[in-house]
């Protein structure tokens, strides 16, 4: 006779992982249970894919993209950064990595909080840290392979209806 006979087996739904890294919002605005769960999540290291763990963080770290880096550095130096970038190439050439560095370069405010777009993001300001931890509300990482279909476009357009979170 089976020992589990007559017992109701309940399967627990997996809970979403707690976000890590700095938040752009003041923790005093968050419910107390959420603040404690965030600090608990920060104490436990999670698995990170090697490609993300060793992802270049600056333009100098990019390998094989010297022409693009030179072009972007010149654009920042002249204050003529384009309003859009089309990054193309085969898998693994650094399109997403470059986009993330550009996002940090455009949103970096520097250590003192008074800076502007720079080709050398500081990595310590609130915007840089939030982008590095995938928590910046104005930076959305998307790829064309999984963002297909009409409903995905509708969701994206609804999200774009909100103003940016930039403090002025």
CATH code for the domain of 77: 3.40.50.300
- Residues 97-124 have a mean pLDDT of 91
pLDDT at residue 22 in the model: 58
Give the residue with greater pLDDT, 108 vs 18: 108
The candidate with the shortest Cα–Cα distance to 104, out of 74, 138, 77, is 138
Question: Out of 25-34, 103-112, 125-134, 153-162, which region has the weakest mean confidence (pLDDT)?
Answer: 25-34
Quickly list DSSP for 87-103. ---STTSSHHHHHHHHH
Please check the confidence at residue 38 and state whether its pLDDT lies above 60. no
pLDDT tens-digit map of 42-93: 545 577 788 778 889 999 999 888 999 999 999 999 999 999 888 888 988 8
70: in domain: yes
pLDDT at residue 165 in the model: 66
Quickly list DSSP for 147-163. S-SHHHHHHHHHHTTSP
Percent pLDDT > 90 in the chain is 29
93: in domain: yes
Distance CA 131, CA 114 (A): 18
144: in domain: no
14: in domain: no
86: in domain: yes
The three-class DSSP label of residue 24 is: coil
Please check the confidence at residue 36 and state whether its pLDDT lies above 50. no
Q: Is 131:107 a contact under the CB 8 Å cutoff?
A: yes
**What is the tally of structural domains in the chain?**
1
pLDDT tens-digit map of 113-160: 888 899 999 999 999 999 999 899 888 887 777 777 888 888 878 877
pLDDT at residue 137 in the model: 85
4: in domain: no
17: in domain: no
Please give the mean pLDDT across all residues of the chain: 76
Domain range for residue 64?
A: 40-137
pLDDT at residue 121 in the model: 93
């Amino acid at each position: 006779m089976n020992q589990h006979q007559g017992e109701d087996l309940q399967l627990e739904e997996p809970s979403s992982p707690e976000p890590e890294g700095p938040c752009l919002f003041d923790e005093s605005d968050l419910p107390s249970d959420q603040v404690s769960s965030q600090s608990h999540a920060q104490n436990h290291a999670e698995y990170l894919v090697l490609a993300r763990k060793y992802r270049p963080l600056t333009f100098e770290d990019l390998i094989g993209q010297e022409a693009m880096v030179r072009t972007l550095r010149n654009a920042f130096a002249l204050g003529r950064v384009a309003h859009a970038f089309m990054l193309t190439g085969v898998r693994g050439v650094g399109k997403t990595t470059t986009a993330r560095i550009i996002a940090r370069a455009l949103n970096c405010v520097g250590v003192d909080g008074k800076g502007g777009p720079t080709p050398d993001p500081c990595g310590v300001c609130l915007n840089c840290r939030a982008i590095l931890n995938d928590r910046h509300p104005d930076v959305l990482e998307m790829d064309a392979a999984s963002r297909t279909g009409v409903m995905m476009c509708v969701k994206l357009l609804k999200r774009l209806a909100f103003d940016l979170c930039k403090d002025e």
